Structures are given as structure tokens and as C-alpha cells.
Amino acid sequence: MNVQTWTYIIVGITFALYIGIAIWSRAGSTKDFYVAGGGVSPLANGLATAADWMSAASFLGMAGIISFTGYDGSVYLMGWTGGYVLLALLLAPYLRKFGKFTVPDFIGDRYYSNLARTVAVICAVIVSFTYVAGQMRGVGLVFSRFLEVEVNAGVLIGMVIVLFYAVLGGMKGITYTQVAQYCVLIFAFMVPAIFISIQMTGNPIPQLGFGADLVGEEISLLDKLDGLSKDLGFSQYTNGSKPKIDVFFITAALMVGTAGLPHVIVRFFTVPKVKDARKSAGYALLFIAILYTTAPAVAVFARTNLIETVSEHPYKEMPDWFSKWEKTGLIEFEDKNEDGKIQYVADKETNELTVDRDIMVLANPEIANLPNWVIALVAAGGLAAALSTAAGLLLVISTSISHDLVKKQLRPNISDKGELVIARLSAVGAVCIAGYFGINPPDFVAATVALAFGLAAASFFPAIVLGIFSKRMNKQGAISGMLVGILLMLFYMTKFKFGWFGGGTENDYFLGISPEGFGTVAMLANFIVAILVSSFYKAPPQDIQELVEEIRIPSGAKDAVSH
């Protein structure tokens, strides 16, 4: 069977599974819709959190960006992995003990202010839409190649699928769908990685294979790739070219952005007890590590195979996969010197090949000439990764509007059923806007998602940390900090990514810090403004200070002391 037939079969089976789970676990109440009734087991929640966390940026974008930038791409590995550890240890148990449905709910109650809640809702919506744009683009990429439709049509198909199970099932449906999606995406990521590792180095463990010697050659794979890169004028794969300050700021922005991401934080409200939140965080870290330790190997395999396949190769003799990716517009060849051969070099003037970074994981099994069912499996994995995160993000948007805006502020007497209707309508609107951003993304998948992390770092992280660990932080400080942080990040991001406010080039970056790393600067500004402003106003009410004290004490500690 050909790749397209296998894709229809495997993707069809996985979609039927997701939709079946959504119908089986459909939400009957707002508690089911928002936090799955609070009854998810730690293991299931760990699997769901890992799927929620490992988006198209992890599955497609991260290996793609490492494949092209080598050592410099490691900032994504360090930032996203370290960020999850930070979230699990520093924030998750305290937020679970606070026991609210959403991050804006926590901020609204902790800072005893509907204005703080509204600012948090706006921040959550901005962060989630920026993040979901990357996911919808990932969905479009997969569909465009393997169902042989345009990228835009692929985005529209993905919108319909996400809409069905996110709107019907809410958090309950999404949680159990994400358990299945994790199993699909990790299997789809590991199988080709193992195949190619054996093929290239004879080692079945990809994490060890990419540092081993090539089969039949007395040279390591990394040394071979360094040599190939150097010959084509690219910087050596294992050497970094980014300024150290930018590496530090991007890593920090990704770390603290993780700890402020509303769609990941809300997962810790779905388990019965605080202890279960800690357990599920541990499980999730284990499940995430499997993919994250494999991604650098996949990047090296893909880059080496691509260079050896295309460089100086006659265009007319290229294998089928090349022409199929050409049809999507994600690979472009322009024969500048008209010799019929592909010149793939670093020099932009003479380079004849343009490759979209996001296709590397998807194209890798085809370049390596793996069986058709493996190629189709990767397509199903890419869709699982993108759809799982997209659903979680859409739920954040819909709950922020229905619960934090309508229920808590505009119509406090609304019935449970009415609130559920508004949540579902909000999800429909969110899917439509997300689809627009998927069709018109600001950048490739990993970079778009990195901007969302910067926005989360700039807005939520200081408010959450100070809300948990500072009894003195008041509503005036938190609101001022969030507004300064999010506006500063939005200004920098739109200036350099969209050309607003006069635009600018890399030479105009503040201290050489890219938009992906500027979230750290905006976060520091948030902290400084929040602490300064709060010092001019009186401390929070006594009951709020007692609440802060209460959520910092581990469950059962008071009983132990009294005995």
C-alpha cells in the first residue's frame, strides 16, 4: 500500500478513537468541562499532561529547529525541560491546594479584585491564541503533505476535529483523549527514530546512536555532520553562533513561561488531592523525557540524510518524496545556475534549495526510505501532538470567558447549564480565530510557540509566584506588573515579527536579545513594577494573608503539629 492509503487508515483509526473517547466521556457539568470532575488518576493525568505539554512545537518544531541550528537549538530543550521541573516543584502543588478552576480564577481571588481577574483573562487569551497558532499550523503541515491538500485546507480540517471533541467533552473528554494521543505520538516519534538509528549506526537506542560511529565508517555521526555542514558553508553543527546573552534569556523565558502557561497549570486541578498533583507531575516528567532526549538524535539523523540526499544531486533524479513536498510549497528548488543539480549551500546568493524547518520530522522517514506504514504513523503522531495541545488551549480560552468573565463578573447568577453553553460557544469562536492564525502564522511552529512562552513569562509568572510566596503583594502591584509585562512583550514581539512600530532587524535588538528571549526582560520588568507599586499601597486584607499562609502549608501538616 502507498503512503496515502496507510495515512488514511492510521489517521482514521486514531481519529475514530479520539472522537469515541470524547463521546464516552462527554461533560455533563461545568466541573466536568473545566477540571474533569477533579477525579483523574495521577497516572492518567501524567499521560494527559505530557500530551498537552508536547505540542506540535515539541513533535515537529523542536527537532526541526535543532536540525537546522544545531547547538543553538539546544536552548529549546533546556528551556522547556527545565521549565516543566520548575512548574512541578515550585507552583503546581500550591495552585492545586488553592483549588480553583483556572489561573485567572486564582489571580482574581488571591488579589481580591475583578480587575485583576479581567487582566488575567486577557493575558490568558493572548497567550493561548499565540500558542494555538503554532498548533494549527502543525496540523495544516501534516494534512497538506499526507492527505495531499493545501496547508490552509489542512488547517480547516484540523479545526473541525478539535472543535468536535473539545466542545463536546470539555476537560473530561480532552483528558482521556490526550492519554490516547500521548501513546500515539510517542510511538510515532520513537519507531522511526529507532529504525534510522539502527540503519545509520547499528545502535537501536537513538539517544546513544547519534553519538556513535556510522555503520561501515570509522567516523562518528556528529563528526560526519560537522564536516558536511562546513563543506556547504554552514557553521559547524556542534558549535553555537548565538550570543550567550540571547541563549540565556531565551532559556529563561521558556522556563518561566512554562511555569505560567495556563493550559498546563489547569491540569493539576483535575486530580483529587494535592499529593496526586505531585505524583502526576513526576509521571509527566518521565513521559516528556522520552521524547525530549530523542529529539536531538532525530534532528541529527534528519539533517545528515537531507544533506547527503539533496546536495549536488541531479534534480530530475530526486526521489518521489521530494516532488510531493514540493507540491505543498514547503520545499522550493530554483535552478539559479541552470546546471540541473541542487546547490544546497549557506550562501543565500547561490543557494537553490529552501526547506521549511517544520517538515524535518515528517520528511525524515521518507528521506531514510523507511516502510510506508512508518511514514503514515509519523503523520498520525504529528496530528496527535498538535491536536492534544490545541484542545487544551481552546479549553483555557473558553473557560476564561465563560467562568472568569461571565460567571464571576457579568452574570454571577447564571445556571450551570447556561455557563456550559457559553463555554462551548466560546470554544467555537476560539477555534475560528485559531484557524485564522494557523493559516497566517507569525513564524514557523517552534518560534511561534516560543513567543507564547515569552508572553506567559511576562504576564503570569510574577503574579503567580508573588501570589503564593508574598503575603505583602496586593492587587495594585499585581495588576500593574501584569499590564507592564504583557504590553512590553507585545510591543517587542510585534515590532520585530510583524514590522509594527517601525519594525527592525537583528541589529536593533535590545542588548542582542531576540523576541523569543525578550519574555525574560518583560518578566523582570513585571516583578520590579509589581513590587514597587505594591509598596505604595496598604497590605492585602487579613483573610487574604491567612489564605496565602494556608496554601503554603503542606496538607496534613497542621494535624501533625496538633498531635
Burial of 336 (0-12, 13-18, 19+ CB in 10 A): exposed
Q: Where are the alpha helices (DSSP H) in 25-62?
A: 30-35, 42-53, 56
Q: What secondary structure letter does DSSP report for 271? A: S
SS (H, E, C) 357-368: HHHHHHHHHHHC
Query: Above 90 in pLDDT, residue 488?
Result: yes
CA separation (Å) from 251 to 76, 358, 520? 7, 20, 9
Query: Above 80 in pLDDT, residue 527?
Result: yes
Q: What is the mean pLDDT of residues 441-462?
A: 76
| Mean pLDDT (the chain, rounded) | 80
Least confident window among 25-34, 178-187, 409-418: 25-34
Confidence of residue 528 (pLDDT cuts 50, 70, 90): very high
- Look at the block and give the residue holding cell 567516523: 219
* Res 559: pLDDT: 44
Q: What secondary structure letter does DSSP report for 503? A: -
* Res 484: pLDDT: 95
Q: What secondary structure letter does DSSP report for 235? A: P
CB atoms within 10 A of CB 16: 10
**360-367 and 320-328 helices, crossing angle to 10°:** 160
Return the C-alpha cell found at 424: 462551548
* Res 59: pLDDT: 78
Query: Above 50 in pLDDT, residue 36?
Result: no
Q: Tens of pLDDT along 319-361?
A: 888 888 888 777 888 888 888 888 888 888 888 888 887 788 8
**In this structure, are residues 170 and 266 in contact, taking their beta carbons and an 8 Å threshold?**
no
Confidence of residue 561 (pLDDT cuts 50, 70, 90): very low
CA separation (Å) from 66 to 30, 83, 231, 317, 548? 41, 18, 19, 28, 42
C-alpha 42 chain-centroid distance: 22
Sequence length of the chain is 563
* Res 37: pLDDT: 46
* Res 166: pLDDT: 61
Residues 117 and 479: their CA atoms lie apart, in Å, by 9
C-alpha 91 chain-centroid distance: 19
Q: What is the mean pLDDT of residues 103-111?
A: 84
Q: What is the mean pLDDT of residues 228-242?
A: 81
Residues 223 and 204: their CA atoms lie apart, in Å, by 20
DSSP notation for 401-468? IIIIIIIIII-TT--HHHHHHHHHHHHHHHHHHHHHHHHS-SS-HHHHHHHHHHHHHHHHHHHHHHHH
Q: What is the mean pLDDT of residues 55-63?
A: 74
* Res 532: pLDDT: 96
Residues 60 and 110: their CA atoms lie apart, in Å, by 38
Which residues, at least 6 apart from 258, have a Cβ–Cβ distance to it below 8 Å? 79, 80, 82, 83, 84, 86, 87, 264, 453, 456
Name the most confidently modeled range: 76-80, 253-257, 327-331. Answer: 253-257
Query: Above 50 in pLDDT, residue 3?
Result: yes
Least confident window among 52-66, 102-116, 331-345, 547-561: 547-561
**In this structure, are residues 520 and 253 in contact, taking their beta carbons and an 8 Å threshold?**
yes
Q: Quick check: helix, strand or coil at residue 259?
A: coil
Residues 406 and 429: their CA atoms lie apart, in Å, by 15
Q: Tens of pLDDT along 402-444?
A: 777 787 777 877 877 787 788 778 878 877 887 887 777 655 5
What domains sit in the chain, N to C, each tagged with a CATH number? 3-309+361-446 (1.20.1730.10)
Q: Quick check: helix, strand or coil at residue 382?
A: helix
